[in-house]
Chain A
Amino acid sequence: MVQTVAWIVSLIFMMVIAGVFAFVFLRSKERRDYEPIKKKWYKARNFYAVTLIIIMLVATIYTLRELPYDQPVYGEGLEPTIVDVESVQFGWKMSETEFKVGEPIEFRVTATDVTHGFGIYDEDMMLLAQTQAMPEYTNEVYITFTEPGTYEILCLEYCGLGHHLMTETIEVTE
């Protein structure tokens, strides 16, 4: 799950940062000449900067390989199910709400009044995918459900006083 990876990675980096600050704080009481410290730590900074840039480069290349904007390559003779989604304060109009496990689906999402957010949640209420539902534009979400169940659509862009009521369910069967 992407969320778990994001949380753990963030936690590790944040703990390292907090550890460094705590270390410096604990060593702040003693006084030493600044010149040797500068000489030593400026040298270390070059290594640190290069390491940081390499980490960022690797993360960039790794995470940009597959983007949610790209239409998946479907198998030969396999056509995705196109679902038209129209959002309006405060509900969803969907051309289909029942799907099969393994069925490739393309949600084509738009709005008729204000901007909404189309978020697909699984039965554990974890967010699987999303896109913005914007008037005058149509955005696609590509998804193939791997588990049967009742999934929920939640609005993920603040759209007025009924924002939190803007939900819909979809059924996925074997």
Chain B
Amino acid sequence: MNSMVRKEERKANKHVASYLVIGGIVIGLMMIFGILMLLQQGGVFDVGPALFYQFLTIHGTGMVGAAALAAAAIMYYFLRQYVDLTPEIFVTNLWLFLVGVVMVIIGVFSFEYASAWTFLYPLPALSAGAWGTLGAILYLGGMLVLGTGFVLFYIDAGRAIIKKYGSLGKGLGWDILSGKRPVDKAPPKAVIASTMVIIVNTTALIAGTVVIIMNMIHVVNPAFTFDPLLAKNLTYAFGHIFANAIIYMGVIAVYEILPRYAKRKWGVSKAFLVAWNMSTFFTLLIYTHHLLMDPSMPKWALIMAQILSYSNGLPVLVITAYGALMLVYKSGIKWDLASGLAFLSMLGWTLGVVPAIVDATIVVNHVMHNTKWVPGHFHMYMGLGAVVMLFAFMYFLAKEDSGIKENWLDKFGLTCYTISFLGISGSFLVSGAISTPRRWATHIPDWMGPAVFGGVSGVLALLASTIFIFHFTRYMALRNKMGSESYEKKLA
């Protein structure tokens, strides 16, 4: 490999590492707000409702944004091994993310904006005097800037896949499924997963842009109104898909890490392609399960929401998780933090599917929608699934790029993280089972116990995450010092 290529690789890894470290630190900070909210609900202290709902807004926005950013780094790292991505756009996305985050933070904490990250129309404009126009514009504008960066990133990735493979359909293996080409000519897993994410997230971001701009106009000029049900559809078409897609970017790391450690091939089969095509289709449509308690929606759409949400569990349960289990079973795999976290993430994802499917059942949703059951599901899915994929990739990259050693503290972090996130998710699920409403600044005594348990578990999760992020910053410091010498040796 010539020195020019080596230099490019090092630069790309530097950008990927910047994404990961910023994403990791923001996730850690957002955990603090999550802990504070749970302890407030548990009656441990009282920060008042205004600050609580500001924490709620920043926690949701920050977690999804930061996890999406770090997951985009995983996608970029592996996808660029197969297609020609534009580094300048990757860097631009990071800068736009930072600008967007600053705007959101100023909007929330300086102007007391607190619509929650779902900003359901017309709440941004009608705050009952809690926040003003400027706070709403800063928050919504920040989301818009942040979204623009991601749109650029996905458009560039889509362009690169189309250039190499001919179309996004071919990126999803349609020519293989139609029998025009043999399965051994299928695109790599990173390309297939990236194609899926490009399709769903571009759609999500367009929906988000429309609803954010309409909200902004409404905030400035309340005479301009639009249909609240349409707004809600657009909001969840944005929020649900965008949050959901994090795990589909993160899983690329699992596809790459586990086979290397197990020394087995995780090939692309027709079933694999069918699963990813199903995921593409379902992910675009299942946001409607957020509207199961909106009977103004067409009844058929709500019934389809249940059926499609059930079906969306199949690709992970039958293909991805099953494939991971087969790959690891009697493989003599070498366990370290990267492989251990990758395996744990598959457990978290699969576990999280269960309460999600249960809640997508209309008769269950009737008594569990907007209870804490919902955060119970997604803290399992995101906290024990998607975010673990990010940490797995951090350890993988650190090892690949610098050869930095893990120690007992990292192993302790893995155990601590697993137990604590089971505690957080479990406490939310118990709260949901006893009908505790979500997004309430205060709780009655019956609801406080699980909240305190969740808060304490959160402290442990924060400790474990700090250990993971500390390891990664050690790698970055070492990398800067050594100029990634070991990586160069590997490439040579």
Q: Does B179 sit at the interface, judged by CB under 8 A?
A: no
Partner of B49, one of A20, A66, A162: A162
CA distance A146 to B346 in the complex (A): 44
Chain B 350-362: CB-based contact to A (< 8 A → 1; otherwise 0): 1100110011011
Quick check: B294 and A134 within 8 Å, CB to CB? yes
CA distance A34 to B130 in the complex (A): 62
Chain B 386-411: CB-based contact to A (< 8 A → 1; otherwise 0): 00000000000000000000000000
Partner of A134, one of B229, B335, B343, B361: B229
CA distance A135 to B328 in the complex (A): 52
Q: Does B317 sit at the interface, judged by CB under 8 A?
A: yes
Quick check: A10 and B354 within 8 Å, CB to CB? yes
Partner of A28, one of B332, B358, B446: B332
Quick check: B228 and A135 within 8 Å, CB to CB? yes
| A:63-119 near B, CB below 8 Å | 63-64, 66-69, 89-90, 113-115, 117, 119
Quick check: A139 and B296 within 8 Å, CB to CB? yes
CA distance A117 to B293 in the complex (A): 9
Quick check: B429 and A129 within 8 Å, CB to CB? no
| Residues of chain B within 8 A of A13, CB atoms compared | 354
- Chain A residue nearest to B343 (CB atoms) is A25
| Residues of chain A within 8 A of B446, CB atoms compared | 125
B56 to chain A, nearest CB (A): 8
Quick check: A48 and B50 within 8 Å, CB to CB? no
Quick check: B228 and A69 within 8 Å, CB to CB? no
| Residues of chain A within 8 A of B441, CB atoms compared | 163-164
| Residues of chain A within 8 A of B355, CB atoms compared | 10, 14
Partner of B314, one of A49, A157, A158: A49
Partner of A2, one of B49, B294, B328, B363: B363
CA distance A24 to B324 in the complex (A): 10
Quick check: A3 and B369 within 8 Å, CB to CB? no
CA distance A89 to B331 in the complex (A): 59
Q: Does B195 sit at the interface, judged by CB under 8 A?
A: no
Given A10-B354, A161-B49, A161-B53, verify A60-B122 contact (CB < 8 Å): no
Given A161-B114, A164-B440, verify A30-B362 contact (CB < 8 Å): no
Question: By the criterion of a CB under 8 Å from any partner CB, how many residues of chain A are at the interface?
Answer: 73
Quick check: B328 and A28 within 8 Å, CB to CB? yes
Quick check: A56 and B310 within 8 Å, CB to CB? yes
| Residues of chain A within 8 A of B181, CB atoms compared | none
- Chain A residue nearest to B361 (CB atoms) is A63
| Residues of chain A within 8 A of B314, CB atoms compared | 49, 52-53, 56
New A-B contacts (14) at CB < 8 Å, excluding given A14-B355, A28-B329, A113-B126: A3-B432, A17-B354, A28-B331, A32-B331, A34-B331, A49-B314, A53-B314, A56-B313, A115-B120, A130-B370, A134-B296, A137-B296, A158-B120, A161-B49
Q: Which residues of A pack against B, CB within 8 Å?
A: 2-4, 6-7, 9-10, 13-14, 17-18, 20-21, 24-25, 27-32, 34, 37-38, 41, 45, 48-49, 52-53, 56, 59-60, 63-64, 66-69, 89-90, 113-115, 117, 119, 121, 125-132, 134-140, 154-164
Q: Which residues of B pack against A, CB within 8 Å?
A: 49-50, 53, 56, 114-116, 118, 120, 122-123, 126-128, 130, 227-229, 232, 264-265, 293-296, 299, 302-303, 306-307, 310-311, 313-314, 317-318, 322, 325-326, 328-333, 335, 343, 346-347, 350-351, 354-355, 358-359, 361-364, 366-371, 373, 429-430, 432-435, 437, 439-442, 444, 446-447
